[in-house]
Amino acid sequence: MHPGTAPDGSRAELRAAMAALPESGIVEVINRGREVPGLIPLWVGEGDLPTPPVIAEAAARALAEGHTFYTWQRGIPPLRDALARYLGRVHGAEVAPERIFVTASGMQAIMLTLQAVLDPGTELVTTAPIWPNVFSVLPILGAVPRFVPLERSDDGWRLDLDRLFAACGPRTRAVFLNAPGNPTGWMMPRADMAALRDFCRARGLWLIADEVYARIVYDAPAAPSFLEVCDPDERLIVINSFSKTWAMTGWRIGWVVAPAEFGQVYENLIQYNTSGVATFLQHAAVTAVEEGEPFVAALVERCRAGRDLVCARMAAWPRVRFARPEGAFYLFFSVAGEPDSRALALRLIEAAGVGLAPGTAFGPGGEGHLRLCFATSADRLTAALDRLAPVLA
């Protein structure tokens, strides 16, 4: 019997929604260019620095000490305590450890949250362009995205709150905001955060805030957080990750801040999805939070230099248009005469030897753009720009 055949002889089928899940537009380009010799990869959201040694050494110590067994589903108490202190230092927010839940990546934090909040047929209102994993997982849950466009001007990306409010209908269950934003670098002003809080309160909506890039900002120690403007028992869920701030993309560890009353819900979801995060990784994460500030400061300066270099070079290219990013570490730019970003990204692999992410991957408003990650060395960025100029300038 063919392995894909059911006992009655019929063809065994996947769920239709799963079979129809699209390939990530970013991963498609990566798979095309992964083996190209000498290619400069600027397509994913990570820099060229490895995890700081102090963090890696903490993980090695925890392994040597035998921290390899099952552990707290919500996260080990030392890490939850450390994160509570961290949020107090960075955002001035009093967050009880009982509201913090450690997850196997920021992406899993998003997935568990959407599993907790969305029913089949309900809607998630979010901005676009936005990181594709946010809306691409909704078919798994039977939920529906409703997009509100970010608007680009010469001085930055902006969100029209009235358009966001108008997009919330009778089936809307939650509003999802990613700020600082991937791929645009957009930041939400504190006054707008308070207005959105009031709207969600009045409508009884969940507010889900992806604050993964909160420390990668250029005019303040940190971006404003919804934790600063919302009450502890608010219908607010804040998602974060160790990936970007401490160069731990491959470690796959994140966290959630949610109302304490939903602790058992998150514990159950973690148990039934992964049964918790590896203990030795969590001990290393404590070190990241408590001893990682010098690295964070250096990373932000590295990203600032990368942003300034890329913006200065591309500003002289007549066909290129962009808004200078306020946060995160991407430049999201358009190229006149290049409406098909997927085709352009694939062409750049061969024509320039540079890997960029196609804007079409980021939902409505992304087409016609490319995303470049500038969290890397000046030498690498200069070489990439030298290769791109003959094609894009």
* pLDDT at residue 283 in the model: 98
The identity of residue 332, as a single letter, is F
Is 256 exposed, middle or buried (CB count within 10 Å of its CB: 0-12, 13-18, 19+)? Answer: buried
**Residue 4 in this model has a pLDDT that exceeds 90:** no
Is 260 exposed, middle or buried (CB count within 10 Å of its CB: 0-12, 13-18, 19+)? Answer: middle
Averaged pLDDT of the chain: 96
The identity of residue 45, as a single letter, is G
**Residue 1 in this model has a pLDDT that exceeds 60:** no
What residues does CATH 3.40.640.10 cover in the chain? 53-291
The arithmetic mean of pLDDT across residues 230-236, rounded, is 95
* pLDDT at residue 219 in the model: 93
Tell me the pLDDT tens digit for each residue of 279-316: 999 999 999 999 999 999 999 999 999 999 999 999 99
Structurally, at CATH architecture level, domain 53-291 sits in: 3-Layer(aba) Sandwich (3.40)
Contact 82, 289 (CB under 8 A): yes
Confidence of residue 20 (pLDDT cuts 50, 70, 90): confident
Tell me the pLDDT tens digit for each residue of 167-209: 999 999 999 999 999 999 999 999 999 999 999 999 999 999 9
Measured from the Cβ of residue 295, the count of other Cβ atoms closer than 10 Å reads: 19
**Residue 2 in this model has a pLDDT that exceeds 60:** no
**Residue 244 in this model has a pLDDT that exceeds 60:** yes
**Residue 261 in this model has a pLDDT that exceeds 90:** yes
The arithmetic mean of pLDDT across residues 31-44, rounded, is 95
φ/ψ (deg, to 5) at 322: -160, 165
What residues does CATH 3.90.1150.10 cover in the chain? 22-51+294-392
By DSSP bridging, strand 354-355 and strand 144-149 are unpaired
SS3 147: strand
- Residue of higher predicted confidence among 129 and 155: 129
Contact 186, 165 (CB under 8 A): no
The arithmetic mean of pLDDT across residues 57-74, rounded, is 98
Q: What is the C-alpha to C-alpha distance for residues 316 and 312, in angstroms, rounded to an integer?
A: 7
* pLDDT at residue 125 in the model: 98
Structurally, at CATH architecture level, domain 22-51+294-392 sits in: Alpha-Beta Complex (3.90)
* pLDDT at residue 136 in the model: 93
What would the two tokens of residue 24 be?
């990530």
Tell me the pLDDT tens digit for each residue of 5-15: 666 666 667 88
Q: Which DSSP helix (H) or strand (E) runs through 295?
A: helix 293-314
